[in-house]
Amino acid sequence: MRVIFLGPPGSGKGTQSKLLCERNNLTYLGTGDMLREARDNHTPLGERAKPFMAAGKLVPDELVDELVAERLNRPDQPCGFVIDGYPRTLAQAHALDRLLESKKLGLTAVIVMVVPDEEIIRRLRGRQRDDDKEETVRARLAEFHRQTAFIAAHYRAKGIRHEVSGIGQIEDVYNSIMRILQPASGCQSC
């Protein structure tokens, strides 16, 4: 099973992606986590990404594309995976298409987590991360909505995009996701 999660920060996509990985033996590929690790380890890529992350802006496409490609090009490349937080631009979606095509890997589904903005802002007020100040959150949401329309249309045209409400208990949201993925994954081996 190979799944992409799209959704604004605070929509629960991180929680659901990780749960899906744990329960189905899939590899978690979260670009937010990868970027924070690169930043904290002061790698050259992390240093370049740092100011964009601090400002709540998207990191340039080529940096994120490189991180994802590096992970999928490793000798131990995962067969089944969940991608969380990528692609966030249409250019990233095209880069991922090319990467997956070169590896003959198809996507099972793209899950879009839907949560109203005011609920997102309410949820993130309780978080401790230093990049979650309200003005940063609003900047990230605005950027998210600007880009998402194009990405959503891209995957809708491929017939693999599904919307799931991110409101409700974690288990209920998880069950809604599984109702989409079980039929979609069919006889895939991973």
- How far CA 142 is from CA of 6, 40, 113, 148, in Å, comes to 15, 26, 16, 10
Q: Residue with the closest Cβ to ligand AMP?
A: 32
Query: Which CB sits closer to ligand AMP, 143 or 163?
Result: 143
CB 61, min distance to ligand AMP, A: 7
CB 36, min distance to ligand AMP, A: 7
CB 189, min distance to ligand AMP, A: 28
Cα 108–chain centre separation: 15
- How far CA 9 is from CA of 12, 21, 72, 166, in Å, comes to 8, 19, 24, 12
Whether the ω angle into residue 87 lies within 30 degrees of 0, i.e. cis, is: yes
Query: Which CB sits closer to ligand AMP, 58 or 185?
Result: 58
Residue 170 contacts residue 12 (beta carbons within 8 Å):
yes
Query: Which CB sits closer to ligand AMP, 83 or 185?
Result: 83
Which residues of the shown chain bind ligand AMP in the complex (CB under 6 A)? 9, 31-32, 35, 52-53, 56-59, 64, 85-88, 92, 140
